[in-house]
Structure formats: C-alpha cells, structure tokens
Structure 1
C-alpha cells in the first residue's frame, strides 16, 4: 500500500466547472493520488445564451467518482469524505417530487436575463440590492436566470426547487435528502443578504421567486449530507467542504489575511481580495461577496469578474479552427513581435468588471492585409491580460 497517510484514508474532491467535471483523490497530507475529468456539452440556443444539461453533469460526476473509487480500492485507501467546488452562478431548477430538471442549467455566461435586470434597475432597486447582496444588478448572477424560467416555462412553484450546481449535485447524491448550499455560492445569486446570512425576502419578491424553493445556506465546513454515490461506495460518507470555485481558490492559495488577493484563470477569470470580517460596499465596477464561512467566522471579499479568458482561446480553436491544440498558442505568440495593432475584445457574453455591459459583443479590430493568424491569437491572449489589469 502507498504510504500516503498513516491510516490509509483519502478524500474525493469534485471540481464541477464550466467545461468539465474534474475529480481528485487526495491523501490527508494533500498528495494527489489520482485525477480524472470528463467534459460536458455546451449549448448555445440563441446568441448570448449558454446552457448545460444538469443530468449530464450529474452522470459525469458519478463516472468521475467511480474512477477515483477504483483507484482507492487498488491502493487500499479508505474514502472518508467528499468535497465539492463548482461553477457558481449557474443555476438549476428541478421538480422536488420527480427529481427531474424543469429546464437546462442556465450558465453564468448566459445573458438572457438582461431585460429582467433592466426592469429592476428602472424600478429603482439597484442600490438596495447592492447594499444587501454586495452585487451589481446584472444577468451574470443567478436571480434573473431563475426569474426567466418562472416567466417563460410552465413550472409549478409549489414543486420547484432551485440551486446552484453544488445544490443540485448534493441533492442528487443524497437522493433528495439534502437541499443545501454554502454561503459562498449563495452570495453569488443576487438573492442572499450577505450581512444577515439569509435569503432576502424583499429581493425574492422582486424576482417573484418563492422562498420555499431556495436551499438552506450553511457554512462551508458543515456536513451537507451523506452519500454512497448511487452505490458506487460500499458505505455512506459525509459531504463537507463546499465552496464556489473562486472562493476555494482564494482559500487554497492561503489568502487568509485582509488585503491578500489572487487571480485565477479558467473559462473566465476571477480577481478576488480578502477584505476581512466586515461587509464593505464595493468600489465602482467590482462586487462584494462572502469569501467563506467556516467555524462561525465569515470572511468578505472584493471581486472583479472577467467573463472570457480561456473561453476566448477555446473559441479560436473550436469555432475559427485557428488552433489544433492549446500547445500551439505559445509558438504562435512568439512568432510575431506584437499584434501590429490588432485588438481582440472577447465579449461573447457581454463584458464583466469593471464595465458590466451585458449587451456588448465580441470584436476583432485593426485587421490589415499584413494580419496573420499569429497576430489574432496573440491579440486574444493579450485580451486576457488587458481585462485582468
């Protein structure tokens, strides 16, 4: 047996992200014993709309757990818990009696709630929402996505359950026993009062969302439920250690002191700073959220969100076919001294911080007869740096 720990215990971590579900088998000392990932399909039913299939995500999660469990068996490791981190504002709405989704998951990138947000602003509620939630009224966050489903799909409000991806996975893993989320994910819905640590009835009413549909919000190190992962495991184990992905990154980077910050790069990018234990209204262009809630301590953060970072590279590769693999990026960037005046604006689903322009659209500017593939690829890479800066 591997000497990864004194007692042979291991933890499964699920990282359910925008483009894939990744799983890690960790020893208690932090050693990665195994990792595996599965992509899921992206749906774009209209310009600016992005969806995922919640059932595909759950089935991929089970498949990932099964691979990790087999590795644990091979090295005689005993799995003692599951942790979850996830894409945050993406929302699932499902029927609590049948367990079936009432619509596809509406992804954080999706801008279909723009009209709903504009109506909320026109009614004068923008500052109230910021003072309670720390967030800007924007379709990036979950509230308008939920409201859109209620307005446009025939849903029974009495049977409807709502949750971010962590809530959906926990509900499924516990066979419907636990409808919960953690403070970090709740703080990204635009429905959660981050001062009182509870769903805000006034804001729920504005978006016509029943409070009964919302999950219980608890601290990240709580026990969220127990699961045997649909009989993949021989016994039930606790689900604990649940955080939205950007918050987990801040915690994982050890940004425990006020003023410490991190920048992470994925489909989008998150620049997040620990601001301590007191709520502060954010400066113009960024937002305030809960960094984490652990052992009755709540840490708040400032955050700037970039909608398209790695997504821009994926688009160049999958849609324009300018790249056959990501390894080509560095070679092409080094093949030219600069972009020769080409600028790439990756507003595929609007622009995030500090602009928050949901109606913005992508643009490649400055093309000439000298422009080559390498200039466009380099401009796309530089666009990530410009946005983060």
Structure 2
C-alpha cells in the first residue's frame, strides 16, 4: 500500500481559453501542472465556439504532462477531480461520441431571440423562482435548443434518444469513464444549476422548462453531488481505474479552494471574466438586485450550500483583446507595466460589454464603449482604463450584494481574491480603493483547480473533512484601501455614466449590417 504522503490528487481544470491538469498534495500544494490552450472560434459577431474534440484531446495531453513533471503515475493518484468553464454546452451522438456541432461558449449571445420568445409576456424572470436564474444568453439550456433547432437532423436524433447533452464537465466525465464504451452521463449540482433547467430547491430537472425549450429528458445527464465517486478511468489511457470523484463549475470550485464554508464568506475570481460568490447557507436566497441564485457545492450526502453570484463577462479577456486585437502588448502581464507609466486613466473609461452586460445589469443590448477620449490619451491610459474596468465591474457586484445584505445576512468586511489577474498589484490596490475594504490574496491563487482536487479527495478519504481544507488556506498578501471616500464616489459616478453610454446599442440594423 502506498503511503498517503506519496499519494496525490489530480485536478483537471478545463477553462475558457485553456485546459490544465494540476497535481496536488495533501497540504494543498501544487506539485506539477500541464497546460494547453485551445482555439477560440468566432463565426460571427457575438458568436463564440470551441471544438469539444480538441478540448478532450488537450485534456489527455495535459494529464500526461502533469504526471511526467510530477514524476508519478496513476498508482499514486487517490482520485481525479474536474472543474470547468460553466454554461458552455455540448451536444453529441451517444453511439459515435461525435459532437453534432461545436460547443457553444458561455459568452455567446446568439440565443437572445430564443430567450425573448421563451420569456414572452412573463419577461426574463419567467423561470427565476424555479431555476434561480433570469432568461439570458449566458446559460446552457437555450444553447442546446439553438443546436437542436439549427443543426440538420439534430432534433430528430434527439427525440429518438440518440443524442446526449451536457456542460463541459459532463463531456469530460463521459469520455474519461469510457465514452461509447460505458461512459457515465452525469453532471454535478453546480453545473446543473447553470443550465436554466434545474429546480434550484429540489436539485432535479424541471420537465416543464425542458419541454418549453424542446429538450428531450433523455438528453439530460443524471444530477449528482460535487464530491462522490462517479466512475473510474477508462480501460485505456493514463488514468485506468483511477476514481473520478469530484466535479464542480469553476467558480464553485474556487469557493472550496478558498475554504468559503460559512455563511457570509465569499471570493472573487479574476479570470476570463470576474465571478463573485457569497455563501448564503443551506437555503437558496433570491436576489432583488441582479444577482444569481446558484448552488455553491454539495459534498456527498451533506446538505447543499447555496450562494449569491455576480457574474461579469469580460475582465481578463479584455486584456487578451488589448494583446491580440489591438497589439498594444505582446504578453498579458505587460498590461501592468504599461498602466503604471501614468498616474491614472486621464478620464478615459472602458466598458467592455462585448457580450452585453451581465450582473447586475443583465442588458444583452449593450456593447462595449471607450468614452472620455481626447488627443491627450495614449496606450498607457488605455492599459490603465482596462485594469480599472475590472475593478469597477466587481464593485458593481459588491454593491448589489450589499443591497441584498438584509435578507442574506452578509456584511463584506474583506474580499478574498484568486485567479491569474490577482498577481497584478496595481489592479489589486485599485480594487481595494474602489471597494473601500481590504483585498486578500491567498498563498495558492489557483484555487479553482485546488477546489476540484479537494472535492475528489474528500470523496475517497484523502482529506478527512472541510476542517482539513480550512487548515490548508493561508494568506499571502493584503491590500488596504487608500482612496478617500469623496474621490471614490466621484470615480463611481463617472463609471456609471460610462455604463449608460453602452446601453440600447444592439438593434436590427446592427444585426443585419454587420453579421
């Protein structure tokens, strides 16, 4: 028997731009990582797709790299956990394993007309009391409907029971456990809560909503907890017979990684977008201020924990846009070097409503804007405005949480942060300034992968309980607010003014002229 000190957990972190495999030890330390980017496919304005087969191939590649770099093999893996970009939808043929269409990504806005038709006279909150979510292009259910409506033969195959659907966790779990040769077709409660198809209180599929969307129940995966053994690695490959034992959407995994186990504890992840979640306990809490009601996690047979979430679509991807589309930088970390060449943005504001505005506005008609420009501004001011846009958008979410505070019992006294952008100290200081509360970065910032590892390890007894996880968390750095209240209020007034300039942009002329 291999000693526990020689055992590890493998986390597969399938994100919007890349797939990573991370080897984690019992102390929550990252031992080795493999990472590979995948293609971002933009067939039309507002459309975003991924090749699901490329993602599966990359998953196998990065698992191999992580195991090689860690100098271990599958016999030293106690379990495998999965965390994934949420809401991205895949539909595939269960007999061949072939997707019928590219995965439609969470940022994609093509389903707006579907959402409007579903809403009818009831409006976008038609399903909110049951699903916890507004009808928006963000979520997976309408994306599946679009595929069934627009791919030749897809609806007929679906109604004949020949097609399966899922978010990326489901696609990977099915393939990891055998695919066409006995792969398990499941999802966890956190990912299911992002489809618009799950009852938020009973954690099962809502047949009426599925019927409204024309999605046969036979396509839907079984809903399971976030931490249990779902199956074992397929008969070929690097993970033969290894327990696949954890699955959570990326933001929910980050809550585990940040040890947000008590009511009122929350975190903000800075990735492709920003996602702030606050633990609200064992009952779903509905927001009156544009937040989402979601499942935070469910560990085995324990009661689920719920969260309020504020989702911001474009933050890290705005830096990528500056790099790839504008060519102002060649590497993402250079954004900070450029931004620090000026003291402030010089009155330049960027509102990156590339996919409309998510929380707390939920305005699909909005599009990005750069306002306040004069001949004075240069690329350093643009870089500064990019970083400030990230902080402003998170402040709006915090403001919404505070507005819901009376019913939730949440008082934000500090903000735990994680994700790639938290190494940008200029951004972290401005975030603390514009929030007026300290910002705290943990020693291990890859909390998404860490959370997936924790979920899997808990399921097989690698960690004894959440107390073990809590002991692994430690603070790395803290930023205290330095901006006075009057300056903060003036900044926020100008930001809100800039946001107003983005609204009501999309109409039929834009759709027809620039499709």
Matches within 5 A, 1:136-175: 136-154=134-152, 155=154, 156-157=157-158, 158-175=161-178
Partner of 1:348: 354
Once the 2 structures are TM-superposed, how far is the Cα of residue 223 of structure 1 from its aligned partner?
1.2
Alpha-carbon distance between aligned partners in 2 of 1:332 and 1:343, rounded to the nearest angstrom: 16
Please, what is the CA RMSD of the aligned residues?
Answer: 1.7
In structure 2, relative to structure 1, the CA distance for the partners of 1:333 and 1:308 (3 Å cut) is: same
2:292 corresponds to which of 280, 287, 293: 287
In structure 2, relative to structure 1, the CA distance for the partners of 1:229 and 1:185 (3 Å cut) is: farther
Alpha-carbon distance between aligned partners in 2 of 1:22 and 1:186, rounded to the nearest angstrom: 22
Alpha-carbon distance between aligned partners in 1 of 2:381 and 2:235, rounded to the nearest angstrom: 48
In structure 2, relative to structure 1, the CA distance for the partners of 1:127 and 1:371 (3 Å cut) is: closer
State whether structure 2 residue 315 is matched by structure 1 residue 309.
Answer: yes
Alpha-carbon distance between aligned partners in 2 of 1:258 and 1:68, rounded to the nearest angstrom: 35
Once the 2 structures are TM-superposed, how far is the Cα of residue 318 of structure 1 from its aligned partner?
0.4
Partner of 2:90: 92
Spell out, residue by residue over 1:119-153, the C-alpha distance to the aligned partner (whole angstroms, 9 max, x if none): 11224264441001100110101111111111111
> 5+ residue gaps in structure 2?
396-515
Does the Cα contact within 8 Å between 1:8 and 1:78 map onto a contact in 2? yes
State whether structure 2 residue 326 is matched by structure 1 residue 323.
Answer: no
Does the Cα contact within 8 Å between 1:133 and 1:191 map onto a contact in 2? yes
Partner of 2:39: 41
Spell out, residue by residue over 1:347-372, the C-alpha distance to the aligned partner (whole angstroms, 9 max, x if none): 11111001111121111112111110
1:199 corresponds to which of 202, 205, 220: 205
State whether structure 2 residue 111 is matched by structure 1 residue 113.
Answer: yes
What secondary structure does 1:319 align onto?
helix
What secondary structure does 1:297 align onto?
coil
State whether structure 2 residue 390 is matched by structure 1 residue 384.
Answer: yes
Partner of 1:81: 79
Alpha-carbon distance between aligned partners in 2 of 1:362 and 1:229, rounded to the nearest angstrom: 48
What secondary structure does 2:35 align onto?
strand
2:255 corresponds to which of 235, 250, 253: 250
Does the Cα contact within 8 Å between 2:276 and 2:309 map onto a contact in 1? yes
Bigger relative CO (Cα 8 Å, ≥ 6 apart) = 2
State whether structure 2 residue 213 is matched by structure 1 residue 215.
Answer: no
Alpha-carbon distance between aligned partners in 2 of 1:285 and 1:76, rounded to the nearest angstrom: 44
4+ residue stretches of structure 1 with deviation over 6 A? none
Alpha-carbon distance between aligned partners in 1 of 2:4 and 2:82, rounded to the nearest angstrom: 24
1:133 corresponds to which of 131, 134, 148: 131
Alpha-carbon distance between aligned partners in 2 of 1:73 and 1:260, rounded to the nearest angstrom: 37
Spell out, residue by residue over 1:139-172, the C-alpha distance to the aligned partner (whole angstroms, 9 max, x if none): 1011111111111112111211000000000111
Alpha-carbon distance between aligned partners in 1 of 2:305 and 2:81, rounded to the nearest angstrom: 20
> 5+ residue gaps in structure 1?
none
Alpha-carbon distance between aligned partners in 2 of 1:209 and 1:311, rounded to the nearest angstrom: 31
Does the Cα contact within 8 Å between 2:207 and 2:217 map onto a contact in 1? yes
Does the Cα contact within 8 Å between 2:116 and 2:124 map onto a contact in 1? no
Alpha-carbon distance between aligned partners in 1 of 2:28 and 2:149, rounded to the nearest angstrom: 46
Does the Cα contact within 8 Å between 1:91 and 1:107 map onto a contact in 2? yes
What secondary structure does 1:36 align onto?
strand
In structure 2, relative to structure 1, the CA distance for the partners of 1:230 and 1:268 (3 Å cut) is: farther
In structure 2, relative to structure 1, the CA distance for the partners of 1:6 and 1:180 (3 Å cut) is: closer
Does the Cα contact within 8 Å between 1:351 and 1:357 map onto a contact in 2? yes
**With structure 2 as the length reference, what TM-score do the two structures score?**
0.72
In structure 2, relative to structure 1, the CA distance for the partners of 1:207 and 1:74 (3 Å cut) is: closer
Paired residues, number: 385
Alpha-carbon distance between aligned partners in 2 of 1:139 and 1:42, rounded to the nearest angstrom: 18
